Structure 1
Amino acid sequence: MVMDTPSPGLSRGMALLFAVSCGAVIGNIYYSQPLLAVIAHGFGQSAASLGFVVTLTQLGYACGLLLLVPLGDVLDRRRLIVILLGCSALALLAVALSPGLVWFAAACVALGLCTCAAQLLVPFAASLAAERERGRVVGTVMSGLLLGILLARTFSGLVAQLGGWRLVYWLAAAVVVLFTAILASALPGDSRKPPLRYRALLASLLTLARAHPALRLRALYGALAFACFSLFWTGLTFLLSQPPYAYSEAQIGAFGLVGAAGTLAASGAGRLADRGHGRLVTRACCLGILLSFGLLWLGGQWLAALLAGVLLLDVCVQALHISNQSVIYALAPEARSRITTVYLVGYFLGGALGSGAASLAYAGAGWLGVCLAGAVFAGALLALCLAARLREESQTAPCWN
């Protein structure tokens, strides 16, 4: 196996580069969310019917996590990241040039597949960080990634308002090309002789999942939390594009700024994990996600409640995600890319489930249906967290984190 050597640490400048790069890359699969109504209109479809595109994109991303991210444990990560970013730029151009809905959906799936490069950057940064600062570094990089998810909505809404939705993807392709050049120059090489054949590498994912109960638990936490997150942000577009709000694309995208504030507030979760408070963060986040859907339901008619609910939901989802990664990256240092794969495949399958549920819930019961569906996911998350705590207390040497 490839073993990590002790790292002297990661400079703040490099940590910032990893964070900004993750944000720039991950945003590619979220540009469409505030634009569903305008894209659907352009293709002669209803906004709710286009919610499946978000689901397909996240499924493409999950496939990339499963099939490509494990290669980060055995190949030169710099080269792999650069290749995937080049493919992402081509996929963005394909989206921009889409002549119809089928082409658009296929290009979005390809874009999701290639965007998994962002999840090669996170374990790469964790491997370069010293043990004493790993929580802080993961928190910094994940804050950049999560800001990218949220600010992508603001960027796409504003650009689409000014120049149409296709311009969003033209500009995104240019950004990806820029970061491809920067990362090709700045990232350290880590060429290694592959110790495993590709089939054995994929098979080892199951071995890791069986060997680490904490990984399985944290993957379930992540899946349920991201289901809540994706369900809300997909359903929000339907709510805000209709009365009583009837907002434009730019106004809908501006809600990403509220979520971005929540992400910044959540960035301290990694520091708390470094100090041994990860379990407390986890329980508080699970409860907060459930409570947020009460505020969001009131937000169907009351803007202040909607803003408060967005902030609470995003703080809790992002802090839980950072706490999860602080736990899993300590499990098997020589297999961090595969650990990332196991965790994030579950995470984004949960996101795809949430996006799909948003379309069905809104079509069936409007905003109330979206909030009820979110409360169901959040209730399951809290129940799982409490069950894990009870199991932990009943064991002499607990292995659940």
Structure 2
Amino acid sequence: MLVAAAVLSRMLPRATPAWSGTYRRLMSSLWTLIRKEALVRRTSAIAALQFAAFSAFWVTLTFHLRSMDAHYGSEAAGLFGRVGVVGALASTRAGKLIDKWNPRFVVLTSSAIFLIDFAIFALAGSAMAGLVIGVILLDFGLQSGHVANMARSMSLNVDAMSRINTLYMTIRFAGGALGSLLGIWAWSVWQWPGVCGVGLGLACGSLVLQVGPGAARASVPGRRTAT
């Protein structure tokens, strides 16, 4: 991290902050921004639902592995993190897909991947092969959706990118925390089928946000400056 900080400090272009008010006014402007920009609300909510589904799976994976016939432990769950790297690396192509099509299409595809993924978990999650395929798809769907959502949000307002990022990441991680809670609750009541049901429900929610009223207007907007 220290090496990266040194390199970035020399290579990144210098930027003059667009904000000239007080820190208190800056933080207050977050509320104004979230009320004003429907696209920020939409992309943040989609990201929160996807991250919630992601968290619901990972927080209960150890329980599920131990409940399988082979009684795998936490070590096996840790190895799945390495499997997920395959999907995360594949998501680096999301940027090229955004350039070729548009971020909204990539996000819509990522939500469809979540839906397919949890269907795989529900139908073949009792087998190691099904879990491996599902984990790869899960990481690919999450990372590609995240990159595309960020592209949509950041292109909205060139002078408010940091504030947009603050809103987006706060809402996204709140969704992840909620997903962990829902995953544990679903496992305690219905075990693995309950977790898969929660994931499917969250994936459907992210899809609904993209086909509901106003979604068609939420394509990549032109850059504009803050008022």
Q: TM-score range by the shorter chain?
A: 0.7 to 0.9
Q: Deviations over 1:111-156 (max 9, x none)?
A: xxxxxxxxxxxxxxxxxxxxxxxxxxxxxxxxxxxxxxxxxxxxxx
For 2:89, the aligned partner's letter is L
Is 1:297 the equivalent of 2:122?
yes
| Residue of structure 1 equivalent to 2:6 | 185
Q: CA RMSD in A?
A: 2.1
CA distance in 2, matches of 1:399, 1:385: 9
Asked whether the equivalents of residues 121 and 130 of structure 2 are also in contact (C-alpha less than 8 Å), the reply is yes
Identity score, percent: 35
Q: Deviations over 1:306-335 (max 9, x none)?
A: 222222222112111110011111112222
| Residue of structure 2 equivalent to 1:116 | none
Q: Deviations over 1:180-223 (max 9, x none)?
A: x3244333285967722221111111222233221111001101
Of 84, 94, 99, the match for 1:259: 84
Asked whether the equivalents of residues 62 and 73 of structure 2 are also in contact (C-alpha less than 8 Å), the reply is no
Aligned 1:159-174 pairs, distance under 5 A: none
Of 141, 162, 184, the match for 1:359: 184
SS at structure 2 position matched to 1:214: helix
Aligned 1:1-150 pairs, distance under 5 A: none
Is 1:275 the equivalent of 2:100?
yes
Asked whether the equivalents of residues 299 and 307 of structure 1 are also in contact (C-alpha less than 8 Å), the reply is no
For 2:80, the aligned partner's letter is F
Asked whether the equivalents of residues 231 and 374 of structure 1 are also in contact (C-alpha less than 8 Å), the reply is yes
For 2:146, the aligned partner's letter is H
| Residue of structure 1 equivalent to 2:142 | 317
For 2:9, the aligned partner's letter is P
Is 1:386 the equivalent of 2:211?
yes
* Cα displacement (A) at 1:242: 3.1
CA distance in 2, matches of 1:392, 1:384: 7
Is 1:374 the equivalent of 2:199?
yes
TM-score where L is the length of structure 1: 0.50
| Residue of structure 2 equivalent to 1:201 | 26
Asked whether the equivalents of residues 104 and 152 of structure 2 are also in contact (C-alpha less than 8 Å), the reply is no
Asked whether the equivalents of residues 48 and 174 of structure 2 are also in contact (C-alpha less than 8 Å), the reply is yes
SS at structure 1 position matched to 2:61: helix
CA distance in 2, matches of 1:290, 1:319: 15
Asked whether the equivalents of residues 239 and 245 of structure 1 are also in contact (C-alpha less than 8 Å), the reply is no
Is 1:220 the equivalent of 2:45?
yes
For 1:186, the aligned partner's letter is V
Q: Between Structure 1 and Structure 2, how many residues are aligned?
A: 216
Asked whether the equivalents of residues 286 and 382 of structure 1 are also in contact (C-alpha less than 8 Å), the reply is yes
TM-score where L is the length of structure 2: 0.86
Closer, same or farther: CA 311–399 of 1 in aligned 2, 3 Å: closer
Unmatched runs of 5 consecutive residues or more in structure 2: 221-227
Q: Deviations over 1:225-282 (max 9, x none)?
A: 0000011111112111333242233322110122111111111111221234322212
CA distance in 2, matches of 1:219, 1:287: 17
Asked whether the equivalents of residues 259 and 310 of structure 1 are also in contact (C-alpha less than 8 Å), the reply is yes
Unmatched runs of 5 consecutive residues or more in structure 1: 1-178
CA distance in 2, matches of 1:378, 1:346: 17
Of 56, 60, 83, the match for 1:231: 56
Q: Deviations over 1:8-65 (max 9, x none)?
A: xxxxxxxxxxxxxxxxxxxxxxxxxxxxxxxxxxxxxxxxxxxxxxxxxxxxxxxxxx
For 1:273, the aligned partner's letter is I
SS at structure 1 position matched to 2:67: coil
Q: Deviations over 1:325-361 (max 9, x none)?
A: 1111111222222111111111011000000111111
Closer, same or farther: CA 295–184 of 1 in aligned 2, 3 Å: closer
Q: Deviations over 1:151-176 (max 9, x none)?
A: xxxxxxxxxxxxxxxxxxxxxxxxxx
For 1:274, the aligned partner's letter is D
